[in-house]
């Protein structure tokens, strides 16, 4: 890789009591790429992206965004820096509408009634922007943008979460198992959306157990094992079964694997 990475982590360690979820883990994400992170259950993939996106604080290690050291105290701070994350549990508020969810934490406001210093939510503006965004992203199978998220299907909810990340991510989009709960058609749409986000020049981190999905869209694959990066491989140079063998420890990584 000749370009400088957008996002790097060095020596990330996170312990939960006796469990070491991240163990001196390194990570690199390059401009415009789709980097898949694969690993066995409990390997520490979610903890890695939570540490990067401010949802958990690493005990040790350094994270750099665009070459500058960052230390996000919360996912909100990471978002403000341009890192959008779709977490496994989606982090949507079920009782709120689609539009409210898309703008959660960055609501559009307008001046209050004359003489009032309070700024009010500008719902029509949020609804229009949310509708435009979902339409642009091809996810507008939803009839009513003011519909509560709890009334949507699993796939539609995923669509809202992915659209929110795709719409607001300005530097990095991270997706933790975005197709896990979806049917074939909905998964396909999410994969297309991931490729659309890439076309817009944004790098994406994709955590997935679905090997065909990973091999379909990833430019590089970070193989995570026992809390750390075991190696990085090129999906064009390795078979799915070899990637799984590396992930599970049945096979040792090739000598030049980190350079992939
Ligand atoms: N909040 C927590 N408290 C205690 N242990 C945790 C916590 N979060 C994660 N762990 C532990 O850290 C290890 C790594 O978990 P993590 O969820 O990061 O793995 P993962 O690779 O994402 O797994 P999966 O593919 O099953 O989602 C596991 O042993 C898990 O039990």
14, 15, 20, 21, best to mutate for ligand 1 pocket (most atoms within 8 Å of CB): 21
Q: Rounded to an integer, what distance in angstroms lies between the CA atom of residue 230 and that of residue 106?
A: 37
pTM of the model: 0.87
The answer to whether the CB of 16 is under 6 A from ligand 1 is: yes
> Ligand 1 mean position to 42 CA, how many Å?
5
What b/e sequence results for 178-201 when a residue is b if at least 16 CB atoms lie within 10 Å of its CB, and e otherwise? Answer: bbeebeeebbebbbebbeebbeee
Q: Which CATH superfamily is domain 7-91+152-259 in?
A: P-loop containing nucleotide triphosphate hydrolases (3.40.50.300)
> Ligand 1 mean position to 47 CA, how many Å?
6
Q: Rounded to an integer, what distance in angstroms lies between the CA atom of residue 39 and that of residue 246?
A: 9
The predicted-structure confidence for 228-242, as pLDDT tens digits, reads as follows: 999 999 999 999 999
Mean pLDDT of the chain: 87
> Ligand 1 mean position to 145 CA, how many Å?
35
The answer to whether the CB of 42 is under 6 A from ligand 1 is: yes
Report whether 230 contacts 253 (CB < 8 A).
yes
25, 41, 42, best to mutate for ligand 1 pocket (most atoms within 8 Å of CB): 42
Q: Rounded to an integer, what distance in angstroms lies between the CA atom of residue 71 and that of residue 228?
A: 20
Report whether 149 contacts 93 (CB < 8 A).
yes
Task: Spell out the residues 6+ positions from residue 5 whose beta carbon is closer than 8 angstroms to its own.
Answer: 28, 29, 30, 31
Cβ-based burial of 229 (10 A; exposed 0-12, middle 13-18, buried ≥19): buried
Q: Rounded to an integer, what distance in angstroms lies between the CA atom of residue 121 and that of residue 110?
A: 6
Respond yes or no on whether ipTM tops 0.95: yes
Q: Which of 80-84, 89-93, 118-122, 147-151 has the lowest mean pLDDT?
A: 89-93
Helices (H), 95-183: 98-102, 123-136, 154-168
pLDDT band at 40, cuts 50/70/90? very high
14, 19, 52, best to mutate for ligand 1 pocket (most atoms within 8 Å of CB): 19
Atom of ligand 1 nearest to the CA of 177: 27
């Amino acid at each position: 890789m000749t370009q400088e990475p957008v996002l790097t982590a060095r020596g990330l360690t996170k312990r939960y009591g006796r469990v070491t979820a991240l163990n001196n883990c390194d990570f690199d994400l390059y401009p415009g790429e789709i980097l898949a992170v694969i690993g066995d259950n409990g390997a520490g993939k979610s903890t890695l992206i939570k540490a990067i996106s401010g949802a958990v604080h690493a005990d040790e290690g350094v994270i750099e965004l665009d070459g500058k050291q960052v230390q996000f105290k919360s996912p909100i701070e990471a978002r403000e820096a341009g890192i959008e994350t779709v977490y496994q549990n989606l982090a949507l508020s079920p009782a709120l509408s689609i539009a409210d969810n898309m703008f959660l934490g960055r609501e559009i406001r307008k001046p209050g009634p004359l003489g009032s210093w309070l700024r009010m939510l500008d719902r029509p503006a949020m609804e229009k922007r949310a509708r435009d965004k979902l339409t642009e992203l091809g996810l507008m199978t939803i009839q009513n943008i003011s519909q509560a998220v709890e009334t949507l299907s699993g796939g539609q909810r995923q669509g809202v979460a992915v659209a929110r990340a795709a719409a607001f991510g300005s530097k990095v989009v991270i997706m933790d198992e975005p197709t896990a709960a979806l049917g074939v058609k909905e998964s396909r749409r999410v994969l297309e959306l991931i490729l659309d986000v890439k076309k817009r020049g944004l790098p994406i981190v994709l955590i997935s157990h679905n090997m065909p999905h990973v091999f379909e869209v990833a430019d590089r694959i970070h193989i995570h094992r026992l809390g750390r990066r075991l190696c990085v491989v090129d999906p064009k140079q390795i078979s799915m079964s070899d990637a799984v063998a590396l992930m599970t420890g049945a096979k040792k990584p090739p000598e030049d694997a980190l350079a992939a």
